[in-house]
Amino acid sequence: MVGHGTLLSRRSSAEFWQDPQLDVTDVENAVGARLALVDLGLAPPLFIDTRYRLLRILGKGGRGLVCLATDEHLHRSVAIKLYPALQPGAVSQEVVLEAQALARLEHQNVVGVYDFGDGALALERADLDPSQAPGQPLLVLCFYMTMQHVHGQSVRRWLGMVKRSREQVLDVFHQAGWGLVHAHEAGVVHRDFKPENVMIDEKGRALVVDFGFARHRSGTQPDAGDGVIARWQDTQIVGTYEYMAPEARLGKNDARSDQYSFALTLHEGLLGCLPPVTSAGVAYVEQHRFPGAVARVLNRALALDPVHRYPSMRELLAELPARWDDQWRWERLDDEAAPSRKGAWLAAGMGAVLFLGGGGLGLALWRGWIGGEAADERDQVEQVASDEVEAPSAVTGCPSSELVGVWSLENEVLWDWDSSRRGVVSEFELEIVARGDCDFVGRMAKLSYRDGARTKRYEAPLRGEAPLHVVRRGALVDVQGTWLLETSSEQDTRRYYFSLEVDDGQARGVYSRLVNGGRPGIRGLVRGAREGRGRPSVATVEALPCRYQCELLCAGEVARKSCETTRCSEHYSRVGECGPPSADFETPMSTQRMLARWRDGEWSPVSGGKGCEAELVAGDWIVDGRLPGGGSRRWTLSLQEADKCRLIGFAKGETARNHSLRVEFDEEGRWLATDPLDPAWAWAVYGWSFAVGEGADGTKLSARRQGY
């Protein structure tokens, strides 16, 4: 039974001293710093509402924090969502309504809500700024909501831990789908369904979590006290852009929008990537890569017009196979009628769906769908979309003459899980073909690679074909694509992602080889040219356009976007550094395995031969860390060779303790840093000029060599 606590609207904010300049990140840093002191026994426990003792930060969203806490009354662990700095009014009322709506959801595949209320976090200014004198109070007014704490991992991490069978993936999505069925039938729309928001508990049960953007399907939620209808303030676009339905990107969504997000996430779970998109921003399902039964479900759930998706999640799950090889057929259903509105509905059988990233064309297509709305409301929604969604602006004119032809691409490895591949150069051939009005396809072939003086040419080149996402930026043209390259015998398959900027017959950009559920396993730069042109001189990261520097150097999608916003004032601005990893960054599985071996006493460093990379790693480094309790720290590393396979040095913390260091390597050149004076401390890192990793305490790490 959910208690209503003490609502913000019933308490005067004059009882609290609140700094109006604080934002969620400030509160995250202050709470993280205080919890670190609590762990060391240097500060008293941190409570909210005298009942919930905060233990560590689990995550951060746009409006608040999620922490692990102990309910001191019932002696159980809970997840508690904190919404700092809320004042009485529409926003606090919206959170109250959210809690009331979620309290109605009781299902084995939906995380349960226990309680909500308001209170104050009793912090100090020194928690936010270590230069401040202790004892200066910082009271942060918060609304809170407590929920079931799921002991497990997100679907994204679950998929990346080990190779999962297609049947296992389908089973997890069936479970999550039934959670959405229950929410929808209770009148609640999730609005942010994605791999991070499905948890797998210790028993293998899937639970849908984080209904932080949820709303009642009617836009209203009754107050249980007097029957007054309180309306949601839903004028802004919410959700995670890559997983949002087209209508959701314009601020219009319902339960069918969750179907779209579910289908995208299922596609990623089964193949390790989101669906490919055309140059117009239209994504589609590659029919040949799925059994007919699965392709059928994805096609219909990804229909552009919500009218042509399933009537409900219940019907979708009824048609979603439990096995990968199920191949039953369907008769035409009554609700598969012709479009009831004029506009740009693309047939569900084509598996097409619109992404606003396609620029003006996408917005023009979508205007047909909302043609029945009042003109002033439509203009308002489109204005919100243009303010909220970051997308390159398209201009009139298809760049066929600038793209069509055969391109010679040269890729150079800058980051890899195996240091022996540093500097390896590979030759690719890309043939771009126009198949219609601004619709391009790329035929990619990997021809050879060069490792030092040795060059190997493939007798049977790896080949693949993929649609291209093409956007014009003034005089420049951006080209993106993801290819599954394979030999004719299909004995060797590899997935590559390319993002290129084309200018006057030359191309420069970045590429990744994707592994472990779509994570970049190799990263590097690309230089290329169309037939008859010379390749541009691109030998370093700094020679790339600024946004590509961000893509290479930043750990996490949020960090990358922040880098583009704050550091790319000019096209070729030098990024220099990205700061700590963002909360969405997934640390490499190999570093997690290194730490597991170290904890179990099974760590065995190399003593000679392959993997001895002391000379490569020696020097001065800057390391930024995102702490598991929230907040960030920075260290300066100074490392010098003790021998070919070992370094010694120190890590000087700007706002953290110092460490003496011993650095050793495994056979792939990944390095483990330990402190001889602190047997519980370790970092597992890999990379040679810029690197990422994880600490034994769960700190996410991003490192760069000074001057790089």
Q: How far apart are CA 563 and CA 547, in angstroms?
A: 8
Q: How far apart are CA 335 and CA 160, in angstroms?
A: 38
Q: Which stretches does DSSP call E strand in 161-224? A: 188-189, 198-201, 206-208, 215-216, 220-222
Segment among 194-198, 275-279, 328-332 with least mean pLDDT: 328-332
* Between residues 92 and 676, the one the model is more confident about: 676
Return the exposure string of 663-676: e unless at least 16 CB atoms fall within 10 Å of the residue's CB, then b.
bbbbebbbbbbbbe
**pLDDT band per the 50, 70, 90 thresholds, residue 60:** confident
pLDDT score, position 92: 56
SS3 state at 452: coil
**pLDDT band per the 50, 70, 90 thresholds, residue 62:** low
The CATH number corresponding to 8-148 among 3.30.200.20, 3.40.50.300, 2.102.10.10, 1.10.1060.10 equals 3.30.200.20
**pLDDT band per the 50, 70, 90 thresholds, residue 208:** very high
What does the angle CA 64 – CA 67 – CA 69 come to, to the nearest 5 degrees?
A: 140
**pLDDT band per the 50, 70, 90 thresholds, residue 10:** very low
The answer to whether residue 354 scores a pLDDT higher than 90 is no
684 pairs with which residues across the strands?
A: 672, 694
**8 Å CB contact between 348 and 330:** no
Q: 199: which 2 tokens?
A: 């948890």
Q: 485: which 2 tokens?
A: 């390259």
Give tens-digit pLDDT for 111-129: 888 888 888 888 877 776 6
pLDDT score, position 137: 75
pLDDT score, position 29: 81
Q: Which of 211-220, 351-360, 395-404 has the highest mean pLDDT?
A: 395-404
Q: How far apart are CA 74 and CA 382, in angstroms?
A: 48
Q: How far apart are CA 591 and CA 694, in angstroms?
A: 7
- Dihedral angle computed from the Cα positions of residues 391, 392, 396 and 398, in that order, rounded to the nearest 10 degrees: -100
pLDDT score, position 206: 94
SS3 state at 82: strand
Residues, the chain: 708
Q: Residue written as tokens 């001895």? A: 612
The answer to whether residue 363 scores a pLDDT higher than 60 is no
The end-to-end CA distance of the chain, in Å, is 56
- The reply to whether CATH 1.10.510.10 applies to domain 152-388 is yes
Q: How far apart are CA 373 and CA 252, in angstroms?
A: 11
Summarize the confidence of residues 540-561 as an average pLDDT: 88
Q: 406: which 2 tokens?
A: 């055969």
Q: Considering only CA atoms, give the Rg of the chain.
A: 26
Q: Which CATH fold would you assign to the domain 400-539? A: Lipocalin (2.40.128)
How far, in whole angstroms, is CA 43 from its chain's centroid? 34
Q: Residue written as tokens 């979508």? A: 366
**pLDDT band per the 50, 70, 90 thresholds, residue 173:** very high
How far, in whole angstroms, is CA 501 from its chain's centroid? 23
Residue type, 439: D
pLDDT score, position 392: 36
Summarize the confidence of residues 520-527 as an average pLDDT: 86
The answer to whether residue 359 scores a pLDDT higher than 60 is no
192 labelled catalytic: yes
pLDDT score, position 672: 94
The answer to whether residue 604 scores a pLDDT higher than 60 is yes
Q: How far apart are CA 515 and CA 518, in angstroms?
A: 5
**What order do you get walking across the sheet with 137-148 strand by strand?**
46-48, 52-60, 65-71, 76-84, 137-148, 113-124
| Cβ neighbours of 224 (radius 10 Å) | 9
Q: How far apart are CA 661 and CA 664, in angstroms?
A: 10
% of the chain at pLDDT higher than 70: 76
589-705: what CATH class? mainly beta
* Between residues 80 and 583, the one the model is more confident about: 80
Q: How far apart are CA 102 and CA 85, in angstroms?
A: 22
Summarize the confidence of residues 419-434 as an average pLDDT: 88
Set 118, 192, 254, 478: catalytic member: 192
SS3 state at 404: coil
**pLDDT band per the 50, 70, 90 thresholds, residue 482:** confident
| Cβ neighbours of 511 (radius 10 Å) | 21
- Domains of the chain, by residue range, sit at 8-148, 152-388, 400-539, 589-705
Q: Which of 416, 184, 419, 196 is nearest to 316 (CA)?
A: 184
Q: How far apart are CA 362 and CA 250, in angstroms?
A: 12
The answer to whether residue 374 scores a pLDDT higher than 50 is no
Give tens-digit pLDDT for 129-141: 666 777 777 778 8
**8 Å CB contact between 525 and 508:** yes
The answer to whether residue 233 scores a pLDDT higher than 70 is no
**pLDDT band per the 50, 70, 90 thresholds, residue 231:** very low
Segment among 149-153, 297-301, 391-395, 578-582 with least mean pLDDT: 391-395
| Cβ neighbours of 1 (radius 10 Å) | 5
Q: Residue written as tokens 């994707």? A: 514
Q: Which of 130, 109, 99 is nearest to 6 (CA)?
A: 99
* Between residues 384 and 110, the one the model is more confident about: 110
Do 8-148 and 400-539 have matching folds? no
Q: Residue written as tokens 């009005």? A: 437
Give tens-digit pLDDT for 617-646: 899 999 999 988 778 889 999 999 888 899
**pLDDT band per the 50, 70, 90 thresholds, residue 428:** very high
pLDDT score, position 561: 83
pLDDT score, position 86: 47
- Average pLDDT taken over every residue of the chain: 76
Reported pTM: 0.49
> Residue 140: which region, alpha, beta or left (left: phi > 0; alpha: psi -120 to 50)?
beta
Give tens-digit pLDDT for 444-464: 999 888 776 667 787 777 888
The answer to whether residue 434 scores a pLDDT higher than 50 is yes
| Cβ neighbours of 505 (radius 10 Å) | 16
